[in-house]
Every structure is written in C-alpha cells, then in structure tokens.
Structure 1
Amino acid sequence: MSQILALAAPAAVLCGWFLRSRFGITAVSWTAAVVSIGATFGAWAAGRWAESERWTGLVGMLELASLLVLVVLTLRAEGGWRGATAVWTIGGAVALWPSRFEDASGAVGALTLFGFGSVLALPAVLIGLYLRGLDEGRRRSVAAARRAQRLELAHDLHDFVAHDVSGMVAQAQAGTVLAAFDPVRAAALFERIEQAGLQALASLDRTVHLLRSEDEDGPERAPQPGLAELVELTERFTDSGDVMVRLDAPVEEPAVPREVAATAYRIVVEALTNVRRHAPAARAVDVRVRSEGRRLTVRVRDDGGGASPPSGSRRGGGGSGLAGLAARVEALGGTLTAGREGNGWQVAVTMPLKIG
C-alpha cells in the first residue's frame, strides 16, 4: 500500500506535465499538491511508513523535488490569486510530507512540520519570483523597443512621405492652372507628380515591410539618408515648384556620425516641407550645413511670404514634425531653434560630431 501511495503524486506530476499546454502549469501544480496531500492522509489511515523503507523514501524525495520545481514554474508563469493558491497548497503538501513516517501531533510536531515546509519551499519561492522579475523586465524592454520602433516608423512616414505628398499637392495645384494655357509645361509637371508619387509609394512600401517583420530583435532597417542625399533632395524640391533651394554643404559624410547625418537630413526635409505648407509666397530657401569645431550646424532659412506663425517652436497647422525632431536632436546632445529671421523663417540646429 505504501508503494502505491508513494507513486501517486509523481504519477500526477508526470501526467500533468504532458497536459500543461491544455490546462496550464497552475492547474498542474494544484492537482499535484492535492494528490500529495491525499497520499499523506492515506499514509495516516493505512499506517505510517517505516524509515527503513528506502524505496518509498527515494520516491518521496523525487516527489518533493517535483513539487518544488512546480513552485518555481508556477510563480514564474502566473501571479495573482491562482498562482498564490497553488503555491500555498504545494507548501502544505511539502510540510505534511514528513508525517507519513512519524506522528507529528502536538505543538512541537506542528512547528517541526512548519519549519520543514518553510525551509524547503522558501528557496523555490524566491527563485520563482526572481525569474518572474527577469521575465517582466525582458517584456518591458521588448515593449519599449517596439514602441521606439513604432515611433521611428511614424517619424519616417511624417518626414519622407509627407514631404513627397505635399510636393505632389503643390504641383497639382499649379498644374490645374498651367493646363489651361500651357499644356506642355503642365505635362512636364504631371510627370514630376508621378515621380513624387512613386517615391512616396516606395517609402510606404519600406515602412509596411518593417511593420510586417516578425523578428523579435527588431526589423533590419535600411540605411537612412544622410548628407550625401541633400543634393538630390534640394534639386527635387526646386524642380517641384517655384522655390529655388540654394545648398551650401561642404561637409564630408565620413566625418559625421551616421545618427547625426540622418538627423540633419530629416531636419532639412521637415524644414522644406514646412516652407511648402506655410510659406507659399517664398521664392528662395538657403540650406547651410557646416562643421564648426566639434559640432555640426544646420540652418534652413526661407525669404518669407508665409503667414505669421503663432508663438512656439514650429509653425501652426502642420503636425508635430519639428517637435519630434527637437527631441531627437536633444537626445544627441544638440539644440534646435525655430523662429522668425528677417522676413522669413529659420530652423537652426547644432549637434555634436562625437556621440557618447
């Protein structure tokens, strides 16, 4: 009889382990603890086990080890009252286990059982809580990384797609006027609208590809545009409308950290987009990029023609592009200022050439 009772709890643990995906580790732990307590009660009723029975003692030690492992797994997998109930039940089973061999009635026996259960269960509880804390910290880190990626993708959409779409809108407005008296120029304008639309679609495709990535470590991002791409950007902006962009950027790309170069490019994109949106009468924009000592300076200034913006760091009615870029510049150790300069509007940025 003692051998059958000794195998009851290990058999329950073994069966429950194969069914854990269906019922959960907490249910397995609770069931194993109840079976163990039932085996203890059975030993009381059938007669205490003799300490000389090595086989039942060896199986009993295996039972205790299995119960303590279940404590660790339960605390790691689930908190709340369900996990606490399962752990308390296992603790009771572990504390009652020695009473299978000798009577533990009375105050001294009860304290002995409590001490035995506490000594065995406490390390398992601490290990389970520690592993749970590690898992929660890892989940928070992954969630923070994914949030940062989503914000980065949102900035990509704002910086690049909005720039192309705003250019398409400006050219379409001009095209409706030219189509009436200059079809040739209107046709060329519509070709540029098509090119801008294809570029916007390409940016959307890249962003959607990144969003669909299932890699836990984050999607592999394509190289971000830097200072070398400013020439193409400003030429495309000039071709898309009546605003002449004058670029003065003699800085060599290898001398500038990748993060600083990408941020400088984004600043110029946002500033030119704001010129198109808020300064329709502007006819010239100066883009100046300089390496001064250990800092990179970027200045974008238009010659005016837009409505007076409200107080603040950006023009009204256009989203939060400069506000997001200001946070990015500050994270790199730089500063961003935006405001009236003469008859126009100026965005000025300084960033260190050495990060960290």
Structure 2
Amino acid sequence: MTEAPLSPGYPASVVGGELRLPKPPGVVRQFWGRHPRLTDALIAALYFVPTLLGTLSFAFEPSGPFWLGLAQLGSVAASAAAMLYRRTRPWLLMGVGWFSCLVIYPLGSIDLFPVLVALYALAVYRSTRAAWVGFGASVVVGTASAYLSVAAQADDMVSPFDIGAPESATQYAIFMLIATLIGVTVGNRRRYLNALIARAHDLARERDQQALLATAVERSRIAREMHDVVAHSVTVMVTLAEGSAATAERDAARAGEAMRLVADTGRGALAEMRRMLGILAESESRDAARSPQPGTADLPELIEGFRGAGMPVRLTTIGRPDADPALELTIYRIVQEGLTNTLRHAAAASRVEVTIEYRGDATEVLVVDDGHAPSTTQVEGSGRGLIGMRERVALYSGSLEAGPRTGGGWRLRVVLPRDERAAIPTISEVDA
C-alpha cells in the first residue's frame, strides 16, 4: 500500500479501491515530498559546510585557546547531525541550538541557524503551541546569549554584526519570529490538508462499509424471497407426490389429478423464480422485470393450492385491505409460510384457520391449526422461514408470536402497525 503524495504516512488506497488524490503542483515538490531524508541531509550539509569553514577561519587563532576551537567544531557537527532528525525530534535540535548559544558561541560568534530550523520544525511537525513555547524560550536564550557574549569578550559589540547586546537580542527575536510564523503557516496548512485526506479516507471507508451492508441486506432479501418460493412449492409438491403414490393403486384418477397439481405447482414456482431473477438480471425481458409481486388479491389462489394438497383451509378477511404493495407482499408471504409450515409439520390437521384483520392502527394476521401430531409425510425444515418472517415483520416494527396452542395445534400471530386511516368494516370468507 503506497502513501498519499500530499500526506506522507496516510495510505493512498482503502478497502474497495484506490482513493484518488490530486497531485501536488510541481515536479520538484513531488520529488522532495517523496525523499524527506534527502531533504534533511541537504539542509544539514548546507549548514555544516559553510559554517565549518567560517569556524575554522578563527577557531584556532593563536590568541584563542585550543579547546574553544574544538568546542566550536563539535557544536557545529552536533547541530548538523541533529538537523537530520528535525522531523521526528525537533526538541533535540532545539536543545543543541540552545546549548551552543549559551555555552559555546558567547566565546566566539553566535549562531542561531539551528534554533531557527528547530522553531520551524516544531511548528510543522509538532504543533502551533509547541512552536510558540519554543519561540518564547528561544527569545530568552538569544537575549541571554547576546549579553553573555558581551561579558565573555569584554566588548560592547556582539559578533558577527558588531552591534550592541540589546540590538543583537532584538534582531535575534525578529529572526526567530519570522521562522516561527513561517513554520506555523506551513504546519497549519499541512495539518488541515492531513485532516481533509483523513476525512476522505473515512468517507471512502464508510462508503465501502455501506456497500457491504447493502450487499448483505440484499442477499438476505433474495434468500428470504427464494426460500418463500422454493419452500412453499417444494413442500406442496412433496405432499402431493406422496399422496399420489399412496393412492395410485386404489384410485388412479385421483393420483393422476394429484400429479397434475404437482406439475402446475412446479410451473408456478418456476414462473415466480423467473420473475425474481428477471429483476436481478439485466438481460431478462422487460415483461419478466415488470411482473408484479403477489399480494393479498392472490391469497384465494394460494389457498386453493393448499386445498389441492389436502389441507382444509378457511380464509377470513376483516376490514379494508391496504393499497401498499409492500405490505400486501408481506402479508402474502406470512400466510404462505404459515400454511407451508402447517403442511410440512401438521398435514393431518382437520382444520386450518387464516384470519386477516385490517384495523385502523394495525393489520393482524392469524394462522391457527389443530394438528396434534406430525404427519407421516413430514418434511424437515431449515428454520429459515421463521427467520424470514421475523425480518419482514421487523421492517414494519411489528410483532410475531409463534408457538403451540393449549388444546393442541399451532398458532401464528403477526401484528403489523400502520398509519391510522378510515376502515370500512367488511367481512369476506373463503371456506373449505
């Protein structure tokens, strides 16, 4: 993973693809941004070479002590070495510069360049607060160094400008202020740019996470719809096929009729699966993609299919149905799954009641059977149906109750809240 060209240390790619960032202006700037160590080495060399030559010109004068020349050379070398770590350890460079100003250069010539570089580094690579703290302390050190130089050399003039201590201290403060202001400006821009890049990475990461969540939700929805179609149709087909096999020798005509119902159920399941896949596949025909999802108007046909499998079902609707296609699909799938579970686990039930009540504040779906024991044609389920129903009910902040009845059988009750609206009290029944 590469680093962002505008912000070293931040990756240029995130989960799900590369985060494209604008290139910084100028080829030279891009080169120095990619080689920070080379930049620091050149700065240290530009300081070390001329300062070393200038120090050698008067460090070993006959009038001066030999140890002072060595101290000055050591101070120059230490400052140059500390400049190599100005990005990671600016306080180290600052400490070396202060030591030189207070101990070494008052005996010779004051050198503020390491302090100026340290102030800039503090503002850029640490914080604005650290830069101003360093500036305040450096002003005190520079002023003290000017007066120490006057005292040590017994001369009212401070080298190398040959001016008085107050004037020298003022000039040092101005130079330090300029270095600090430049560093604060560059540092604030750098931190602002890093914050923008970090925010862009966060947004890109959030985008990828949202895409993954959307994919997971869509997979769950597809799995739920496929389960409702396949589980219902296969359960009906298995029940009809086993019933046909049991009556083939006694009543061939009835067995043939059962097998025709198996074929019709299979064709219906294939048609519904093609419709669902047509929504997902762009290459499918427009008719398949535009085919409507089943609703409450298709419940009588669904009931007839279960009756063909031998289940005595009674459907009762109370109130005025909603005109919401999504809610109608939810009701249809709940009834379908409830009857499929009854056919799978209690096909011997003598009565199955399906009641749909449309009230002003909610829609209630009730599926009740009186099965006492599992049938001989019981089909094992995966448990996905109940999970799918709970997911559908959760979309409407509804409630689902499923469990055995006191007198035997099974009871499924679902309540789906809705907006209050006027309801026309009508009752319709489809009897077995």
Q: TM-score, normalised by structure 1?
A: 0.64
Larger radius of gyration: 2
Contact 1:157 1:203 in 2 (8 A): no
| Post-superposition offset of 1:261 | 2.3
1:248-290 deviations in whole A, cap 9, x for unaligned? 124443x353333222111101111011111021133211111
Contact 2:229 2:273 in 1 (8 A): no
Distance in 2, matches of 1:25 and 1:339, equals 55
User: What is the aligned-residue RMSD (CA, Å)?
Assistant: 3.8
Aligned counterpart, 2:403 = 339
| Post-superposition offset of 1:38 | 5.2
Letter in 2 for 1:340: P
Could you say what secondary structure the match of 1:147 adopts? helix
Contact 2:344 2:380 in 1 (8 A): no
Distance in 2, matches of 1:205 and 1:105, equals 78
| Post-superposition offset of 1:113 | 4.4
1 or 2, which has the higher helix percentage?
1
Aligned counterpart, 2:419 = 354
Letter in 2 for 1:109: V
Letter in 2 for 1:347: L
Q: Measured at CA, do residues 328 and 38 of structure 1 come closer, stay the same or move farther in structure 2, by a change above 3 Å?
A: same
Runs of 5+ consecutive residues of structure 2 not aligned to the other structure: 7-12, 25-29, 48-85, 91-110, 124-182, 284-288, 421-432
Aligned counterpart, 2:310 = 242
Q: Measured at CA, do residues 344 and 187 of structure 1 come closer, stay the same or move farther in structure 2, by a change above 3 Å?
A: same
Is 2:325 the partner of 1:258?
yes
Aligned counterpart, 1:320 = 384
Aligned counterpart, 2:294 = 225
1:82-118 deviations in whole A, cap 9, x for unaligned? xxxxxxxxx96xx9xxxxxxx9931222322443342
Aligned counterpart, 1:290 = 357
Contact 2:354 2:366 in 1 (8 A): yes
Equivalent residue for 1:161, pick from 219, 226, 230: 230
Aligned counterpart, 1:142 = 211
The alignment-based identity, stated in percent, is: 30
Contact 1:234 1:245 in 2 (8 A): yes
Contact 1:260 1:353 in 2 (8 A): no
Aligned counterpart, 1:170 = 239
Letter in 2 for 1:146: T
Distance in 2, matches of 1:106 and 1:246, equals 94
Aligned counterpart, 1:267 = 334
1:18-37 deviations in whole A, cap 9, x for unaligned? xx9xx9979x9986623687
Distance in 2, matches of 1:24 and 1:323, equals 38
1:203-230 deviations in whole A, cap 9, x for unaligned? 333444455569xxxxx89643221111
Is 2:98 the partner of 1:34?
no
| Post-superposition offset of 1:352 | 1.3
Q: Which is further off, 191-200 or 322-331?
A: 322-331
Q: Measured at CA, do residues 221 and 157 of structure 1 come closer, stay the same or move farther in structure 2, by a change above 3 Å?
A: farther
Distance in 2, matches of 1:113 and 1:151, equals 54
Contact 1:274 1:318 in 2 (8 A): no
May I ask how many residue pairs the two structures share in their alignment?
A: 270
Distance in 1, matches of 2:223 and 2:43, equals 66
Contact 2:306 2:313 in 1 (8 A): yes
Q: Measured at CA, do residues 261 and 24 of structure 1 come closer, stay the same or move farther in structure 2, by a change above 3 Å?
A: closer
Aligned counterpart, 1:58 = none
Q: Which is further off, 175-184 or 295-304?
A: 175-184
Q: TM-score, normalised by structure 2?
A: 0.54
Aligned counterpart, 2:346 = 279
Could you say what secondary structure the match of 1:181 adopts? coil
Equivalent residue for 1:192, pick from 254, 261, 265: 261
Distance in 1, matches of 2:269 and 2:188, equals 66
Distance in 2, matches of 1:222 and 1:39, equals 67
| Post-superposition offset of 1:196 | 1.2
Match runs of 1:31-180 below 5 Å:
33-34=33-34, 105-115=113-123, 116=183, 117-180=186-249
